[in-house]
Structure 1
């Protein structure tokens, strides 16, 4: 099942809620991976916003849970705003900061809230004749900062979602390509099938540096040109 919660909101409209968290990544001595706080917030917001966009929802607001320190609030908001800007969104931000106790590691959570028309969800709409690809490489930890050239940019995500050839788009998280592939099959009522891809199927995708798409084969060359060297075909085995 997709990592988005849907709740009835209005006639024919549902709330869509997606979240991502980060821990031990930041600027504190106890962190496992050093990264600027703004960058950490950017990637957490990127995941949550991609999840909403992938199911056809429009983000309306963001909730930030800041467990780093109160003085980091504005810095973290800048990272969230940067992710929103890349998707053409100007989102209000609310939330809370830990101001009572000092923490030895960085931690934060980002929740994105949006709306989607019940009949326009991009879930379970992949036809039998569709083909599949991974866009971007799955990266985690220091590799995220070391290899930005292999990260699927949010501008490309928006282009893919606007393409008439793309059916579904799923951010690839820490469980890897193969897990998201099985979720895509399940959402479309398909039987389990193995797959092959030039990328490691079970490696963590970290903060969704790559994504899985199902698409109309007639548009493959268009999508390949759009994604360039970030396009990696995924083949379903018989």
Structure 2
């Protein structure tokens, strides 16, 4: 359902694990998309951490798998630390690098590990009267860097997490807005319905450049002020 694995831990707590990967994006000649490796790591860990935090978990550590080259490790960590700063957290980083064989394209994986109370997961808590919106535009590939003004900032994501008017947040991934919409409905025990939104419903959301939210209608004006030009309403259709 959600892209987070939950494992029993202790004292009513569960381990929460979220991951993301990136391939053919980086600074190697054969890469499909050219980008600094620290930026690649930033957007990859952004996805994993947003997934983790959106279900109510507290992030504890990041695991990095570097398949680019051993000498890129520090640059990759720099991108991860940037995302952590923007989220207001400080996490230890561990992992490994491919140092035996050269690769012709960039590739990396990141895993975020956290803890969440088994009874307080932020899943399936959207009431029938809720309204819905997408914050940010779904972007992928070169568009992520070329149109950064449409990327939902992590600082805004933190504000939305703390908002008393927001019920659930779902980062929009490569399967698009409509897929995340159906996941949200399923988690809340509702039948699938069609929906309408000014944004393309089936376009890839890339590295979670946008977030689907359910919210209390009483807070709509405040949420719109917070999100400004990044607010796109999503309407359920009967």
**TM-score with structure 1 length normalisation?**
1.00
Structure 1 counterpart of 2:186 = 186
Structure 2 counterpart of 1:235 = 235
Structure 1 counterpart of 2:168 = 168
**Shift of residue 119, structure 1, vs aligned partner:** 1.4
1:198-209 alignment runs, 5 A limit = 198-209=198-209
- How many residue pairs were aligned? 238
Q: Over the residues paired in the alignment, what is the CA RMSD in angstroms?
A: 0.4
SS in 1 for 2:186: helix
Return the alpha-carbon distance in structure 2 between the equivalents of residues 12 and 216 of structure 1.
29
Structure 2 counterpart of 1:28 = 28
Structure 1 counterpart of 2:131 = 131
Return the alpha-carbon distance in structure 2 between the equivalents of residues 147 and 158 of structure 1.
21
SS in 2 for 1:10: coil
SS in 2 for 1:158: helix
Structure 1 counterpart of 2:220 = 220
Return the alpha-carbon distance in structure 1 between the equivalents of residues 209 and 79 of structure 2.
16
What stretches of structure 2 of length at least 5 have no aligned partner? none
Return the alpha-carbon distance in structure 2 between the equivalents of residues 222 and 161 of structure 1.
14
**Shift of residue 120, structure 1, vs aligned partner:** 1.2
Return the alpha-carbon distance in structure 2 between the equivalents of residues 17 and 197 of structure 1.
31
Per-residue CA deviation, residues 26-51 of structure 1 (Å, 9 max, x unaligned), is: 00011000000000000000000000
Return the alpha-carbon distance in structure 2 between the equivalents of residues 216 and 95 of structure 1.
40
State whether structure 2 residue 14 is matched by structure 1 residue 17: no
Return the alpha-carbon distance in structure 1 between the equivalents of residues 218 and 119 of structure 2.
25
**TM-score with structure 2 length normalisation?**
1.00
1:1-238 alignment runs, 5 A limit = 1-238=1-238
What stretches of structure 1 of length at least 5 have no aligned partner? none
Return the alpha-carbon distance in structure 2 between the equivalents of residues 150 and 120 of structure 1.
31
Per-residue CA deviation, residues 161-209 of structure 1 (Å, 9 max, x unaligned), is: 1000000000000000000000000000000100000000000000000
Per-residue CA deviation, residues 83-116 of structure 1 (Å, 9 max, x unaligned), is: 0111111100000000000000000000000001
| Runs of 4 or more consecutive aligned structure 1 residues displaced over 6 Å after TM superposition | none
**Shift of residue 118, structure 1, vs aligned partner:** 1.0
**Shift of residue 127, structure 1, vs aligned partner:** 0.3
Per-residue CA deviation, residues 11-70 of structure 1 (Å, 9 max, x unaligned), is: 110000000000000000110000000000000000000001100001000000000000
Return the alpha-carbon distance in structure 1 between the equivalents of residues 13 and 117 of structure 2.
4
